[in-house]
Structure 1
Amino acid sequence: MLAVFKNDVVNPPKELHSPTSKQAFARPKSPEEMLKDFLASNPINGFSLGFADKGFLAYAPPQSSVMSQQRLFCGVNDVYCIFLGSLNNLCTLNKQYGLSKGVNEAMFVIEAYCTLRDRGPIPAHQVLKDLEGSFGFVIYDNKAGIVFAASGADKAVNLFWGVAADNSVMISDNVDIIKASCGKSFAPFPAGCMYHSERGLMSFEHPMNKMKAMPRVDSEGAICGAYFAVDAYSKVNSMPRVGSEANWATWG
């Protein structure tokens, strides 16, 4: 999968930028070039969906059912989701949200997002903590212009994000795609965390703790972006809202 969003949609942590990234390649590939490469490598069932000048999502199902994580794509009411992995308690979650048995993980995540966006009573971090299984997903709400991404705490699904040469933000499960466009300005998306394009990065496992960036050094000793982790000694200014105003569109 590949998700690309322009810098007026997503404002990533400044530590994701590497001062040596421009020297990483003589000519890094643009996100558009990487999209062409992605579709060329999945000529039969790969596809992309563009959002004018905001960005695009590209998706291809697993090429083999053997030793491959589930990949799903879904769009409902102009909200789109790419979901990797699986939820062990999906049936229970569908019942809890009043959804049918046929709703898959991507559809559920969209429905949960929309419920919370429209003033649901449960805070986003609690919803994500209730997801049992291995997962990573990216949501784009085209009407609101919101990007929401999360990665499960068990680290079984690996996502990477980075800043391309044109300052757009890329998210993919393929680190080679990220490296080709972002040079050294990339990092693993932190497990047990969620990112909101207006509210930034936070841990849903430890919502009371702030996130910290730790310099990432490559094999040549060059600083290249940063790892992000929970700061055990630093707390947020206030408890995340738990009332009717707490939702995935406005958490903070």
Structure 2
Amino acid sequence: MLAVFNSAVAEGPEELRTPGDLSPTPRKKAADLLQSFMTDFPQAISVNVEGVCHMAYSHEKEALLRPRSFAVKDEIFCLFEGTLENLASLRQQYGLSKSVNEVSLVIEAYKTLRDRKPYPASHVVGHFEGRFAFIILDKSTKSIFAATDSQGKVPFYWGITADGFLAFSDDADVLKGACGKSLASFPEGCFFLGAEGLRSYEHPKNKVTAIPAMEEEMWGTTFKVEREGVYAGII
């Protein structure tokens, strides 16, 4: 799956950006990244949201326990990969019918977060159990919400393209050519939400720190959660 956002929606943390001259190969623009994805996955479904966001996904090479899905409701667009083990109890918590699947549940949970301020984002994602990664675009507020499970069971990556677009994918190889070393593994147990930035929902009071990678490493940055004076085991 792939989601690309322009700076009117999201810029990502500054630490994610690595100067282009430090990248081993020339980086690509967002349009080229999208074109490459659609070429590699010709059966993929792609959605263009008024030029501020492109979302695309394919069921090709989909893992049995990590199905990909997409839904739109009330101008909220969501890409979801994985499964929620406590889906039944979450439906009851949010007053939803038994027909609601994971991606629709995430949209409803986000609406609760958005509309019941100051409802903590850490409470919303912290109640999700299973293997998952998701990306939400709220068109009405021009903001995004992304998160991954606490054990990193679904691969999830983010990076900055040559022209400054923030991109997410479940495949690091999809982003490499466009992001160079402005690419990182999205830290497990964390979420990224508009003005709140990158935070841990497992340890909401603890800071998420960006650690510059060594020159020979693939990533430009590794994000870790500080815990009791040391870093939590997040890579």
Relative to the length of structure 1, the TM-score reads: 0.84
> Counterparts in 2 of 1:142-153, with a 5 A limit?
142-153=139-150
**Contact 1:89 1:133 (C-alpha < 8 Å) held by counterparts:** yes
Give the alignment's Cα RMSD to 1 decimal. 2.0
* Structure 2 unaligned residues grouped into runs of 5+: 230-235
**Contact 1:62 1:70 (C-alpha < 8 Å) held by counterparts:** no
SS of match in other structure, 1:57: strand
Aligned length: 229
* Structure 1 unaligned residues grouped into runs of 5+: 235-252
What corresponds to 2:226 in structure 1?
231
Q: Deviations over 1:50-87 (max 9, x none)?
A: 122312111112445x6462111111111011001100
Find the aligned partners of 1:233 and 1:175 in 2 and give their Cα distance: 31
SS of match in other structure, 2:173: helix
Q: Deviations over 1:113-133 (max 9, x none)?
A: 112211167422012111110
The counterpart of 1:195, out of the listed 192, 195, 210, is 192
Find the aligned partners of 1:133 and 1:198 in 2 and give their Cα distance: 27
- 1:48 partner letter: S
SS of match in other structure, 1:217: coil
Deviation at 1:178, TM superposition (A): 1.0
> Counterparts in 2 of 1:70-81, with a 5 A limit?
70-81=67-78
**Contact 1:10 1:198 (C-alpha < 8 Å) held by counterparts:** no
**Contact 2:41 2:60 (C-alpha < 8 Å) held by counterparts:** no
> Counterparts in 2 of 1:1-252, with a 5 A limit?
1-19=1-19, 21=21, 23-26=23-26, 28-44=27-43, 46-63=44-61, 67=64, 69-119=66-116, 122-219=119-216, 224-233=219-228
Deviation at 1:20, TM superposition (A): 5.2
Find the aligned partners of 1:184 and 1:63 in 2 and give their Cα distance: 25
Q: Deviations over 1:95-124 (max 9, x none)?
A: 111111111100000011112211167422
Find the aligned partners of 2:200 and 2:72 in 1 and give their Cα distance: 26
Find the aligned partners of 1:126 and 1:115 in 2 and give their Cα distance: 11
Deviation at 1:29, TM superposition (A): 2.5
